[in-house]
Structure 1
């Protein structure tokens, strides 16, 4: 975990230095900071990044625009941290590819805790390389949870319209591979492993993002919408990933 590359894109020097200080104090070896979008992009080109803490209001542009640009080059985990708190801003952050959204003022210790939880999940079962999700050796507990599809293949979940291949890190929809960012993949994988089970937003957040469900409900809702756009013929009338009013979500076979 401590070798992961973390980039802080924040023009308020006091905030950037505080978060960086806490990360370095906890043993992270590669923590970079940038005050502008241009500087951030240069650092990413030179060093890469596994997690990016991204402010929205930067001196030379919008963090939303930078996030959209970065998504064309790979799939780093992007956590927005900003004073823009409207529902539209939050939804825009997720729409352009953000994985989480933290509003200012915030506790820097919480930011560090979220980073650790995200990296811990990467280390336990997944790694990000070259913008493509790939699997690593699963832990014994994950092995016990493995299910088989109707053909008896472990880690392959087959539905009439789509197939999720855990080992290959691939989502196939109607025979065509579909790009699926890490958090969407892990959320769909969790639901595939427990078909027919209703999960609350908090349970899904804890299963995928960690932090004992302390995340914003919007995080789960936006990722559910993105998944439906990929696997459903009509996302507005889902037949696989259903909303159970007042309870949560479940994935079913027809």
Structure 2
């Protein structure tokens, strides 16, 4: 791994599957201690057992009490959490005229409000921990190239990611004097457990054929940048947005 996380503890929200589980494995491989948070805590527990020096915590990012309890458990095990990956996210699919209100609220609540609740809980604790803690603070928001692209479906998902991108400019401005770095990673289209059936179908295959390189991004392509943003190497990088999409948004 190009960037070491030895001596660091990283809380990954949305770690039960897909990209989040991959992030947790990358943190572990880079020498860091991983805290795995998700509603499907059984999956996190299985992954924590696989990794060894890791902790699974139940986490509903839309519920502030759940977020606070998850951080309490993580700190009881590892002490101050100096890295956070806000990765929990959901989508609805479908045209805006067809998606039920409940689906719209779930997307906005998870993708934007949820990221805010996790990030600010981390910020509060890092600031309370004193200069040594917050000078090492790293918050990474996982966005999407849909934040700056328009399409014909899942408008609330794209809007939530656009809001997340601006949150990635607001929070570092608030915390810049405390030394907490907040950056945003915007991946392109990746095959995950959530969208695998779509991309395997005829319409999904047509979408892939329409990409410049006619392929989906691999989740592993995000690892070097993620580790950089969590490491000591990015001490002077905050408020930045990094797009990794294999040229999909060109």
Identify the TM-score tier after normalising by the shorter chain. Answer: 0.3 to 0.5
Q: Structure 2 length as normaliser, TM-score?
A: 0.40
Q: Structure 1 length as normaliser, TM-score?
A: 0.39
Structure with the higher helix share, 1 or 2:
2
Structure with the higher strand share, 1 or 2:
1
Instruction: Determine which structure has more spread, i.e. the larger CA radius of gyration.
Output: 1
